[in-house]
Structure 1
Amino acid sequence: MKETNGQHIISLFEQWAPKSLAVEGDPVGLQIGTLNKTITKVLVTLDVNLKTVEEAIVNGCELIIAHHPPIFRGLKNMRTDLPQGMLIEKLIKHDIAVYAAHTNLDIASGGVNDLLATALQLENINILEQTSSEQLMKLAVFTPKQSTELVRTALAIAGAGQIGDYTDCSFTSEGEGRFKPSSLATPFIGQANELAVVEEDKIEVVFPISMKSKVLKALLTSHPYEEPAYDLILLDLEVNEKGLGRIGTLLQSQTLADYAEIVKKQLNVPFVRVVGNLTKEVKKVAVLGGDGNKYIQSAKRAGADVFVTGDLYFHVAQDAEAIGLAVIDPGHHVEQIMKIGVAEYMTKVCMQHKLAVEFIPSNISTEPFQLI
């Protein structure tokens, strides 16, 4: 195992939850301190407050990965006699960097909303509200038979040919290639000013448009010809669909009251607020961590019987009731599920890269509400 710096750690994290996934205006990324230093311990927390900062200090952490950005709006001052200034001062004095992953972690595959969907025992899980996708491209390239496997392998390593859960997908057909090199050419096969007829294979692979440069580089590096012939075709298909919230089904339908008890138990909360007829049978469930008020109609359009989300407003609850959508509100703090989720994921990734980094899920509850 080897030491590493914060930049390497966050680079690995952003392969999972890139900042580009975040909704517009969301202040994700490095907020306090520097990543250009050795990191041995990372605290993973939902919120950054004086208690979690003290926890980071006690555990010897040089970096905090938080879900909620501690600096959400622009600072007008940095007064150390006020709570936010005190917090930033303490972080700087103890050389602790803070990196925020908010809606990008909500949207990422395996992120907050997938963790919640799994905890809520959902199956056949899909995205509730799509925020982005990519078009597919197809590459068709002609190569001499003796080089087919080399080129095909290089394209696969570059990421071309991934379809769903399958990798290294390609199609190869046989044919004859004809070309006449000019006197200025340095041909791999054939002679200058003479027509060459070569047994060739046509390799076809698909890939997301964002990978175009990487795939073409792999092609040109591995292909033996001085000027390989290839086609790039933009397909009317989309991949890498990303979005907020998840929707899935329960193994068996149950009453709203019974499922509310399951939500309460699975998300480890003392109570839930419920909108709807408690005897109603529910089977299709939508979930969105945090504040889901904007997505009531999305849940209804997706066919959800019940929507599990937090911070439900009074009038939005009435709107949900009017359109026949049940809602279970376990609060905003259930997003704390990310603490163990992120710590486990990053521990696994860093072990694969033989990096000596410990990820510590915070033991501090940042839930501000108390029951009396």
Structure 2
Amino acid sequence: MLARGETVIQLMEQLAPKHYAVPDDRIGLQIGSLRKEIRKALVTLDVTPAVVEEAVRIGAELILAHHAPLYRPLKHLQTDTPEGALMASLIKNDIAVYVAHTNLDTADGGMNDWMAEALGLEGRGVLEEVHTDKLFKLAVFVPISHQDAVRDAMFQAGAGWIGNYSRCSFNIEGTGTFLPSEGTNPYLGKPGKLERAAEVRIETVVPHSVHRKVIQAMLKAHPYEEVAYDLYPMDLKGRTFGLGRVGVLPQPETLDAFAERVKSAFDVPFVRIVGDGSRSIRKVAVLGGSGSRYIRHAKFAGADVLVTGDIDYHTAHDADAMGLAIVDPGHNAEKIMKPKTAQWLEERLREKGYATEVIASCINTEPFKLR
């Protein structure tokens, strides 16, 4: 069984929810239609003519990209221009393009976590906050006989986390009353007769990002035809998601040695370095993509070094003056997302019983070469 395009994207957005993106980012479906079965999906960092040729060659109906092919506004779509020819090729071959950019950067277990893991960073935190998950309190009234089943269903759907403690709830026993009307099919009692039932009020914490999933799981596990429950917002801060990561190396090492670690981790032929190569490095900030505007975030976080791409000349001087080392592996270091995204998505499709293949692009989209 093949997954439809809408299903593939629903799964992709479990990894990288759209509301995690920074404002005005160009994400989502950009070209084509998802209303079709997908035999093969191709994961790429950039959508270039060579990548489109690869998609055609392998028979992919969907490209999942990190960088948007439609990023700058187009005033026209002339097919004799590079941009127009690219769009024409995608449309002619009925290949849809979906973009997950800063939402994948921000996601827990996404781009910046993959980069931090590749560097071996421990005790990671967020470099810049983008989104905080709002918290809700869910209270539901359950017959005593079904309290364990309902609690477990809610916990498995993502409820009950307070910090690093899971399956947190508060439970109060009491008596519920209800009068089933004619035409109802009550689990307890009979229509037209007031019923008193021994029930438990279960209260638990639910993050906004999973509250619909938790409610659906609760309703499915609950035996009542009509379920009494309350959901109300809490004035408490939930989990924070953001761009970049800050962590520490298992052991200090020199900046020169750390630069070699970066080259190996991101499979790049060279890096640019700002700072004394003999200085000791322990605390590291890493941010995929262009990180010039994050040097002060890294310094404020106490990082010895910032690993990011596209550092310009004047920013390098500013970082050096403030005592922050920089290792710049280039923007293309984000290619780490290709195999990681493909593996994550294909595993979810297999769990759902779909035969759709997800393939990491083999095309190197690095535009720079050394001489």
Q: Match of 2:319, as an amino acid? A: A
Residue in structure 1 matched with residue 175 of structure 2 by the alignment:
177
Q: Give the % identical residues.
A: 50
Shift of residue 145, structure 1, vs aligned partner: 2.1
Residue in structure 2 matched with residue 237 of structure 1 by the alignment:
236
Deviation string, structure 1 residues 108-141 (Cα, Å, up to 9, x no partner): 1221111111111111122111100122222334
Residues 180 and 192 in structure 1, CA contact (< 8 A), matched pair in contact too? no
What CA distance in whole angstroms lies between the structure 2 residues aligned with 1:225 and 1:62?
44
Residue in structure 2 matched with residue 160 of structure 1 by the alignment:
159
**What's the secondary structure of 1:172's corresponding residue?**
strand
Residues 180 and 190 in structure 2, CA contact (< 8 A), matched pair in contact too? no
Residue in structure 1 matched with residue 254 of structure 2 by the alignment:
255
Task: Tell whether 2:62 aligns with 1:63.
Answer: yes
Which has the higher mean CA deviation after the structures are superposed, 215-224 or 359-368?
215-224
Deviation string, structure 1 residues 207-227 (Cα, Å, up to 9, x no partner): 013545554565567656788
**What's the secondary structure of 1:139's corresponding residue?**
strand
**What's the secondary structure of 2:316's corresponding residue?**
helix
What CA distance in whole angstroms lies between the structure 2 residues aligned with 1:207 and 1:46?
34
- The number of equivalent residue pairs is 369
What CA distance in whole angstroms lies between the structure 2 residues aligned with 1:139 and 1:340?
38
Residue in structure 2 matched with residue 79 of structure 1 by the alignment:
78
Q: Match of 1:128, as an amino acid? A: L
Which has the higher mean CA deviation after the structures are superposed, 291-300 or 147-156?
147-156
Residue in structure 2 matched with residue 347 of structure 1 by the alignment:
346
Q: Match of 2:252, as an amino acid? A: S
What CA distance in whole angstroms lies between the structure 2 residues aligned with 1:23 and 1:3?
32
Residues 142 and 228 in structure 1, CA contact (< 8 A), matched pair in contact too? yes
RMSD: 2.8
Shift of residue 243, structure 1, vs aligned partner: 0.6
What CA distance in whole angstroms lies between the structure 1 residues aligned with 2:149 and 2:343?
37
**What's the secondary structure of 2:123's corresponding residue?**
strand
Which has the higher mean CA deviation after the structures are superposed, 148-157 or 128-137?
148-157
Q: Match of 2:89, as an amino acid? A: K
Residue in structure 2 matched with residue 291 of structure 1 by the alignment:
290
What CA distance in whole angstroms lies between the structure 2 residues aligned with 1:79 and 1:178?
68
TM-score calculated relative to the size of structure 1: 0.89
CA gap of 1:120–1:203, structure 2 versus 1, over 3 A, is same
**What's the secondary structure of 2:135's corresponding residue?**
strand
What CA distance in whole angstroms lies between the structure 2 residues aligned with 1:217 and 1:268?
44
Equivalent positions of 1:302-321 (< 5 A) are: 302-321=301-320
Residue in structure 2 matched with residue 135 of structure 1 by the alignment:
134
Residues 62 and 97 in structure 1, CA contact (< 8 A), matched pair in contact too? yes
Residues 309 and 328 in structure 1, CA contact (< 8 A), matched pair in contact too? yes
CA gap of 1:270–1:180, structure 2 versus 1, over 3 A, is closer
Which has the higher mean CA deviation after the structures are superposed, 352-361 or 149-158?
149-158
Equivalent positions of 1:93-104 (< 5 A) are: 93-104=92-103
Residue in structure 1 matched with residue 47 of structure 2 by the alignment:
48
* Gapped regions of structure 2 (runs ≥ 5): none
CA gap of 1:368–1:242, structure 2 versus 1, over 3 A, is same
* Gapped regions of structure 1 (runs ≥ 5): none
Q: Match of 2:67, as an amino acid? A: H
TM-score calculated relative to the size of structure 2: 0.89
Deviation string, structure 1 residues 221-280 (Cα, Å, up to 9, x no partner): 765678866555543432232110011110000111111111112212121111112211
